[in-house]
Amino acid sequence: MTAPTNLFAQQESNRRRSFWLVTGFILFFAWVGFGGDIAWYLMSSRAAASGVEADHVYVHLVPFIGIIATLIAGGTCWYSWQKGAGRVLWATGAKEILEPATDLERRLVNVVEEMAIASGLPRPRIFVVPDADPNAFATGIEPGAASIAVTQGLLETLSREELQGVVAHEMAHVQNYDTRLMTLLAAMVGAIALMSDGMGRTVRFGGFGSGRNSGRSGKDSGGNPLGLVLLVLWLITLIIAPVISRLLAMAVSRKREYLADATAAQFTRNPMALAAALEKLTLAGEPTRAITQGAAHLCIVDPSASQLSTREGLLGDVFSSHPPIRLRISRLKGMAYQQLKMEPSA
């Protein structure tokens, strides 16, 4: 498969995945909402049929949980599409460079403009995150509305060529529409975690089907068995949903880093620059504190500084948001070697 064909295939794949991500997100919230309504109805109707006076039993008939949850999901998707990129930048405390104030900022702006020309994309907005740990990320739904953010530590750590490699990597994510998918994921991972916590509090403090007869005893006080089964499944969903969403975000990120590295090497025609930058980033032992775990998959390297990011195999694949850096460096060095072999000898 040629590079342009591979690029177009990746872009189409990301558009398709973004559609299914939004669809699955709304369906998930609908299940959580209407599933809770059904469980509540089955359990409360069983209590009502047990002979207790109607005034003392609440039968859940209006599925307001499902309606509210589905509306929230749709609103979250709309908000993520319209404002997700801005919220990610806001959460990191990033400041936009409108007029460069230092030599480092001027160099950054110049490099971003160069890589925009090399990629054939509009120049993205440029932000600096006030964090000493070297890292970078890109965000945005469309290439024409993309943003690139680098930490202050990255500006102070990398040479100009190394900075080119990092910026080219982020421009590759923009070109491939990775930023659309990963921005949506960042917003939705946070929404799912918030929903799970909120619903969990409702279950702990409110209860299902208790009505006003919660203190009643006897053989008829139990709920509908089907309702109990459904309630158990519903509770399991609430527990595992944040974990599954985080793992999904990590898997999406890992599969795209290698392609972004390769595309960056094409933009700069200098694979060793990005390899050298990644080597410096591995030496940074501190986490990028300004970047939350919900946005970890957006970064060029894992901001948590977890040792799992260096592990290969199942453990690293499941719990790390990025592939091992040394494998990425090895591939880039291989590209540099192939490039050297193709150059005519003097």
* Catalytic residue set: 170
- Only one residue has tokens 């659309």, namely 180
Write the CB contacts of 79 (distance below 8 Å, at least 6 apart in sequence). Answer: 187
Of 68, 64, 73, which is closest to residue 28 (Cα–Cα)?
73
Give one DSSP letter per residue of 281-321, joined into a string. Answer: HHT--S--TTS-GGGGGGBSS-TT--GGGG--SHHHHHH-S
CB distance 210 to 231 below 8 Å:
no
Cα gap 295→249, rounded to integer Å? 9
Angstrom CA distances, 168 to 27, 31, 211, 264, 346, stand at 36, 41, 60, 5, 29
Upper half-sphere CA count for residue 67 (Cβ side, 13 Å) = 4
CB distance 129 to 94 below 8 Å:
yes
What is the bridge-based pairing of β-strands 147-151 and 125-129? parallel
Structure tokens at 94: 């990033």
